[in-house]
Chains A and B, each alone.
Chain A
Amino acid sequence: MNDNYSIEISDLTKVFGSRIIFNKINFKRDTPGLAGIAGPNGSGKSTLVKVIAGLLTQSSGTIKHYLGGKEVHQNSVYSVVGFASPYVYLYDEFSALENLEISMKIRGLKPDQENFKALLDRFTLWPRRNDPVKAYSSGMKQRLKLIFSVIHSPGLIIWDEPTANLDSDGKHRVYELASELAKESIVVFATNEETEIGMCSEVINILDYKNNK
């Protein structure tokens, strides 16, 4: 995993028209561990994680990702962030293994077949590794997305509703992996599941950032 990754969020604000999604969020973390973003449905959790991952631009404020003490350029944030959510889709016409290989090659990294096998095995997808993703159930797709988010060893792993569509076995495997990853990376859950929030050492409640000054 990435050494010396840290993140610094200052006065982060996002508004859509006159609607404040969140206002002046400040957050800093330079040690691995589990952090949570909590809030009810529609409160803006997904918007916040998209902004942090560089998928959406903020209205004001700054997000700085550091690797080895150096600030990561805005266009390279993808290389230090891993992101999984129900609204991220992988390529249906490719198999699980092809999706993982393609994503590594496009990132400019060498596909690590042993790591792929270990992760696919862990989520019981290895026997179906060569099937096209379009033949997968929604739970299998969710497991694959979680694998996709960690294969490049990012310093920041953001999982938005990580256990959506998963059965209890799948949820257990997610929690186990998250705990392991949190030893070396910052893992962020955006969720309203109490079990997940309970695992986090630090929680941002998005409702606290609606009317704050």
Chain B
Amino acid sequence: MKFYWLFRKDLQSELRTRYAINALGMFIVVTISVILFSIGQEKITQNLSGGLFWVVVFFSAMSGLSRAFVSEEERGTVLTLQLMSDPNTVLGGKLLFNIVLVFSMNIFIALLYSALFDVFVIKNLPMFLLAFVLGNLGIGISSTLIAAIIAKANTKGTLYPVLSFPILLPLFLTLIEITKKAMEGVPFDEGFIEIATLVSYDVVMVAAGFMLFDLVWKE
């Protein structure tokens, strides 16, 4: 339960400082507005709207999810954290915080997106929801690990999306594919390969995270 208290600390801290929430909220609104303005009166296809949804998710994640570790580094509290917890507690707490943040962020994006884009209609909702949950877990896990890696670098802002892109690419390609299938309303078993890929991705990232975090965390 130690990681839960670390998560609580991060949540309380976030609610007081609004370090990530404000940036994320503004970024989501601005990104969706830019897409709306650039489309204008044009009709976009269903497939394109599904792809654009995950583009918004990717860039929003890049704008806010590095904060879990970067804020500790910028405030000089990394040593404090190392003095009161072991690496697994830190990773567990930060992971839980980022997963909660990803879910909140992506639910907000999904609601806003559905309200503004008529063509974004999901015909196989259970399939999309399962992919959405697995995808959010994958984004949360990967972004936490990458945030830990880049936190000590001088060029954090640039490094984060650059490092994230190759790691998140297989996840997003799978998510785009399964979203397309869910929008077309294909039966659940036709999306089995994508679901299995998402589960595998999440398991591999969690396992790699807990195995490698020690090396990243200590100088």
Contacts and interface: CB of A to CB of B under 8 A. Distances in A.
Name the residue in A88, A91, A108, A149 with the highest tally of chain B Cβ atoms < 10 Å from its Cβ.
A91
Contact of B9 (A54, A81, A102): A102
Interface in A76-107: 76, 78, 81, 83, 87-94, 102-103, 105-107
A78 B9 contact: no
A106 B85 contact: yes
Nearest to B81: A106
A107 B79 contact: no
A57 interface: yes
A20 interface: no
Contact of B87 (A75, A83, A88, A107): A75
Nearest to A84: B83
B80 A90 contact: yes
B82 interface: yes
Contact of B86 (A53, A56, A75, A89): A75
Interface of A: 53-57, 75-76, 78, 81, 83, 87-94, 102-103, 105-108, 148-149
Contact of B79 (A57, A88, A105, A106): A88
Contacts, number: 71
A84 to B, nearest CB: 9
A100 B6 CA distance: 13
Interface of B: 1-2, 5-6, 8-9, 12-13, 16-17, 75-77, 79-80, 82-89, 93, 214, 218-219
Given A83-B83, A87-B76, 10 more contacts: A53-B83, A54-B218, A55-B82, A55-B218, A56-B218, A57-B219, A75-B87, A87-B79, A89-B75, A106-B6
B76 A93 contact: no
B219 A106 contact: no
A108 B2 contact: yes
A91 B12 CA distance: 11
Contacts of B6: 106
Contacts of B219: 55-57
B5 A105 contact: yes
Given A75-B88, A75-B214, A89 B1 contact: no
A94 B86 CA distance: 22
Contacts of B1: 108
Contacts of A93: 13, 16-17
A135 to B, nearest CB: 14
Contacts of B84: 78, 103, 106-107
Contact of A106 (B9, B12, B75): B9
